[in-house]
Structure 1
Amino acid sequence: MSHKRIPKRKAAIAVGGVAALGAAALLLPNANASQSNGDAATPRTFKSNDVSDVASMLASQLGDAFAGSYYDAANKQLVINVVGNNSNVVNQIERAGAVAHQVQNSTADLEAAAKTLRTEASIAGTAWSVDPKTNEIHVTADSTVTGGKWNTVESTVKGLGSGVATLSKSAGTLKTFVDGGDAIFGGNARCSLGFNVTAGDGTPAFLTAGHCGVAAAQWSDAQGGAPIATVDQATFPGAGDFSLVKYDDPATQANSAVNVGNGQSVQINQAVEAAVGQQVFRMGSTTGLHDGNVTGLNATVNYPEGTVTGLIQTDVCAEPGDSGGSLFTQDGGAVGLTSGGSGDCTAGGETFFQPVTTALAATGATLGAGDAGAGAGDAGAGDAGAGDAGAGAGDAGAGGAVDPSASAADPGAGDAVDPGAGADDAAGADQNGTHHKSRRQHN
Structure 2
Amino acid sequence: MAGRLATGRRRAAALTALGALALTAAPAAAGVAPPPAPGPLPSAAQTLGADKASAQLLRALQRDLRLTPRQAAARLVNEAEAGTRAGRLRTMLGERFAGAWVSGATSSELTVATTDSGDVPAIEAQGAKAVVVGRALSELRAVKARLDATARRVETSGTPVWYVDVRANRVVVQAVNEAAAAAFAEAAGLRGRDVGVRLSANRPRALDDIVGGDAYYVDDRVRCSVGFSVTKDQQQGFATAGHCGGPGASTTGYNMVPQGTFQASTFPGKDMAWVGVNSGWTATPDVRAEGGRRTQVAGSAQALVGSSVCRSGSTSGWHCGVIEQHDTSVSYAEGTVDGLTQTTVCGEPGDSGGPYVAGAQAQGVASGGTGDCTSGGTTFYQPINPLLADYGLVLTTTSSQAALPAPQNGAASGAWAAGRVYETGTTVTHGGVRYQCLGEHQAQGPWTPDATPALWQRI
- TM-score, with length taken from structure 2: 0.65
Picking from 137, 140, 144, the partner of 1:107 is 137
Aligned in 2, Cα 1:136/1:57: closer, same or farther, shift over 3 Å?
same
- Distance in 2, matches of 1:24 and 1:96, equals 27
Cα offset, 1:190, TM superposition: 1.4
* Aligned counterpart, 1:193: 226
Structure 1 residue 27, shift from structure 2 partner: 7.6
C-alpha distance in structure 1 between counterparts of 2:361 and 2:78, whole Å? 11
Where do residues 351-366 of structure 1 align in structure 2 (5 Å cutoff)?
A: 351-366=379-394
Q: Once the two structures are superposed, what CA deviation does each residue of 1:165-196 show, in whole Å capped at 9, x if it has no partner? A: 32223333322111256921103221111111
The aligned residue for residue 229 of structure 1 is 260
Q: Distance in 2 between matches of 1:303 and 1:157?
A: 19
Does structure 2 retain, via aligned residues, the 8 Å contact 1:24–1:260? no
Contact 2:371/2:377 (CA < 8 Å) preserved in 1?
A: yes
The one of 77, 88, 91 aligned to 1:57: 88
Aligned letter for 2:165? D
| Distance in 1 of aligned mates of 2:129 and 2:65 | 32
- Aligned residue for 1:83? 115
Q: 1:291 aligns with which of 307, 316, 320?
A: 320
Give the 3-state SS of the residue equivalent to 2:283 in structure 1: strand
Q: What secondary structure does 1:312 align onto?
A: strand
Secondary structure of 2:350 counterpart: coil
Moved over 6 A (4+): 22-27
Shift of the 77–156 alpha-carbon distance from structure 1 to 2, 3 Å rule, reads farther
Shift in CA distance, 31/135, structure 1 to aligned 2, threshold 3 Å: same
- CA distance 1:24–1:349, change in 2 (3 Å): closer
2:197 corresponds in structure 1 to: 167
1:137 aligns with 2:178: no
SS at the partner of 1:47? helix
Provide the secondary structure at the position in 2 that maps to 1:111: helix
Equivalent in the alignment of 2:425: none
Gaps of 5+ in 2: 1-55, 57-62, 404-459
**In the alignment, residue 169 of structure 2 is paired with which amino acid?**
N
Kept in 2: contact 1:203–1:246 (CA 8 A):
yes
Report 1:176-215 matches (<5 A). 176-179=206-209, 183-187=215-219, 188-197=221-230, 199-214=231-246
Residue type at the aligned position of 1:109:
E
Distance 1:124 1:319, change over 3 A: farther
- Matching residue of 2:338: 309
How far the C-alpha of 1:222 sits from its partner, in A, is 4.0
Verify the 8 A CA contact 1:157 1:165 in the aligned structure 2.
no
Which segment is superposed worse, 313-322 or 175-184? 175-184
Aligned residues with identical type, % of pairs: 34
The Cα of 1:277 is off from its aligned counterpart by 0.5
Amino acid corresponding to residue 207 of structure 1 in structure 2: A
Residues 170 and 342 in structure 1, CA contact (< 8 A), matched pair in contact too: no
Does the 8 Å CA contact 1:339/1:351 hold for their aligned counterparts? yes
Equivalent residues, number: 332
Q: Does the Cα contact within 8 Å between 1:340 and 1:352 map onto a contact in 2?
A: yes
Q: Residues 207-253 of structure 1: CA distance to partner in whole angstroms, max 9, x if unpaired?
A: 11111132871111247x24302111212222x2111111111x533
SS at match of 1:272: coil
CA drift at 1:95 = 3.2
Change (3 A) 1:209 1:76: same
Q: Is the 2:316–2:347 Cα contact (8 Å) retained in structure 1?
A: yes
Q: Given the alignment, which residue of 228, 244, 268 partners 2:274?
A: 244
Contact 1:274 1:355 in 2 (8 A): no
Which amino acid in the other structure matches residue 161 of structure 2? Answer: A
Change (3 A) 1:200 1:180: closer
1:323 deviation in Å?
A: 0.8
Structure 2 counterpart of 1:427: none
Query: Does 2:126 align with 1:96?
Result: yes
Q: Quickly say closer, same or farther: Cα 1:47–1:147, change in 2 above 3 A.
A: closer
1:332 corresponds to which letter in structure 2?
A
1:320 aligned partner, one-letter code: P
In 2: Cα distance, 1:321 partner to 1:216 partner: 22
Q: 1:341 & 1:78 partners in 2: Cα distance?
A: 27
User: Could you say which structure has the larger radius of gyration?
Assistant: 2
Structure 1 match to 2:310: 281
8 A contact 2:237–2:274 mirrored in 1: yes
Q: Aligned equivalents of 2:85 and 2:388: distance in 1?
A: 21
Structure 1: 5+ residue runs without aligned partners?
Answer: 1-14, 16-21, 35-44, 373-443
What are the residue-to-residue correspondences of 1:19-38 with 2, within 5 Å? 28=69, 31-33=72-74
How much is the aligned-residue C-alpha RMSD, in angstroms?
3.2
Q: Indicate how the Cα distance of structure 1 residues 184 and 263 shifts in structure 2: closer, same or farther if over 3 A, else same.
A: closer
C-alpha deviation, 1:151, in angstroms? 5.4
Q: 1:265: which partner in 2?
A: 294
**Cα distance, 1:264 vs structure 2:** 3.2
Q: Give a deviation string over 1:289-326, Cα, whole Å, max 9, x none.
A: 11111111111112222221111111212121211111
Q: Please report the TM-score for the alignment, with normalisation by the length of structure 1.
A: 0.67
- Distance in 1, Cα, partners of 2:247 & 2:335: 14
Q: Tell me how far 1:341 sits from its aligned partner.
A: 2.0
| Alignment partners' CA distance in 1, 2:292 and 2:148 | 45
1:237-279 deviations in Å (ceiling 9; x for gaps): 22x2111111111x53322122213253222111121311011
C-alpha distance in 2 between matches for 1:50 and 1:33:
11
What is the CA-CA distance between 1:58 and the residue it aligns to? 2.0
